[in-house]
Structure 1
């Protein structure tokens, strides 16, 4: 597997298959580090679970911000992406454990759509569905959405008619799908993992599971919710999932914040904190 060595703005060097994607991911994960989340990371003995770790950008940033104090469990189901993850977190092997599995509502296996051309959109779900196309179109014409997600979209697209951009997105989707493969990956549940590890506390649970966020949360048994101090979720709001997830967090005792900038913004960061 050919990889590139990329220097991030925090001066860390990571490996990835696509030169610019790591820098985009670095900018995106900064949105998680709000004051209350940083407070949850401030204790001497901090445990973080990173679901959808991809190549490890969030985990590395946590280690940087906690000066190596955090203990992190990274979950990444795609074999090639998992290989990059293990390469990138190797300097912190005593603090980080990488697990090649996805988290879901039940133990088992699932078929993932893997995109070597953009590994961050690999998912059990169709990431080229019509709602994703509408989200991209919204980002083209609304600068607030584009800036919030650090969307790497050509500037000229905002001056093109919607019909032209729609056709361009369709063409890009065709190119992406041509490069996609299907990979069977193991699944576990967060509660099953906690039981096996004897994990009695999670200071920060971060979930970036490309439309599978609700699946991850439904794998938490009622008795384990109270062991989680803070949750940071990149949530894809389709089929009313934002409302369902927010209600779930509130029902389990979390104060909830979201960063939706307008109704057309369908990828939101949802943060849950305990008082």
Structure 2
């Protein structure tokens, strides 16, 4: 895998990133990344796969990978981009994408870039700090007409949930507390039922959760019109898929791209 990454970087002239990869293998430290941190402030702007992204230099997750190498999950991303291009060739009309767990927009921007003006990307992200950067990255690329940012979570029921915050920003997890009496708090999207009452702490934040099918119905999107579902939800995949039965049962062309977590 390191050899493939090194070859990919060399072919694109990313010799600084290649140097960083070598130092990781030799010293378990990415000296190229460390040098960038010394030169940047809290945010760094980078060109990634042809679009622009603002990245949090304090993030040890996807931002660190993008600052170090200019790409993330390159082998699977290459396949994903090929599938998006094939989809664009096969479908003559509009294209709808669900990006579940959109983080700061790496995949949402990619889908909008590859699919072009026919695309509508619903970038769904529950973490407030991610939503702020996600909206900034959408505006940075003038993609407001292609990407809508939604601060909520998708799951198997319509409830108030909580987001458990991890040290690495791309490892937050959604959790639905036990059923509790209704209470005031964040508005739930599109008629979700308040059947749980999360208790935010320093390590959790409240987040509205809705099924994917209800999310789409609230936006007048027919299940068969959804062409792409991309998700990275840190072990919550089964719940998200259970709420997308109408989409999975529909007859339209559908690209599924997601990580499994055990």
| TM-score for the superposition, normalised by structure 1 | 0.59
Root-mean-square deviation over aligned CA pairs = 2.5
Alignment match of 1:14 (pick from 53, 58, 62): 53
Contact 2:95–2:118 (8 Å) recurs in 1: yes
Distance in 2 between residues matched to 1:61 and 1:103, nearest whole Å:
21
Are residue 218 (structure 1) and residue 262 (structure 2) matched? Answer: no
| Residue pairs, 1:1-275, within 5 angstroms | 3-18=42-57, 20-23=64-67, 26-28=71-73, 30-33=77-80, 35-42=82-89, 43=91, 44-90=93-139, 91-115=142-166, 117-124=167-174, 181-200=203-222, 201-222=225-246, 225-226=249-250, 229-236=254-261, 238=262
Distance 1:7 1:68, change over 3 A: farther
Contact 2:84–2:114 (8 Å) recurs in 1: no
1:203 to partner: Cα distance: 0.7
Secondary structure of 1:124's partner? strand
1:227 to partner: Cα distance: 5.4
Q: For this pair of structures, how many residues does the alignment match?
A: 181
Contact 2:84–2:115 (8 Å) recurs in 1: no
Distance in 2 between residues matched to 1:54 and 1:33, nearest whole Å:
17
Deviations 1:43-91 (A, max 9, x none): 3421111000000010111122123431100100011111111111122
Distance in 2 between residues matched to 1:13 and 1:36, nearest whole Å:
22
Deviations 1:215-269 (A, max 9, x none): 1001124576315622111111x2xxxxxxxxxxxxxxxxxxxxxxxxxxxxxxx
Secondary structure of 1:27's partner? coil
Contact 1:8–1:26 (8 Å) recurs in 2: no
Contact 1:102–1:185 (8 Å) recurs in 2: yes
Bigger relative contact order (CA 8 A; separation at least 6): 1
Unaligned runs of 5+ in 1: 126-179, 239-275
Contact 1:40–1:204 (8 Å) recurs in 2: no
Distance in 1 between residues matched to 2:206 and 2:127, nearest whole Å:
9
| TM-score for the superposition, normalised by structure 2 | 0.62
Distance in 2 between residues matched to 1:89 and 1:124, nearest whole Å:
24
Distance in 1 between residues matched to 2:112 and 2:80, nearest whole Å:
12
Highest Rg: 1 or 2?
A: 2
State the partner residue of 2:5. Answer: none
Distance in 1 between residues matched to 2:247 and 2:129, nearest whole Å:
35
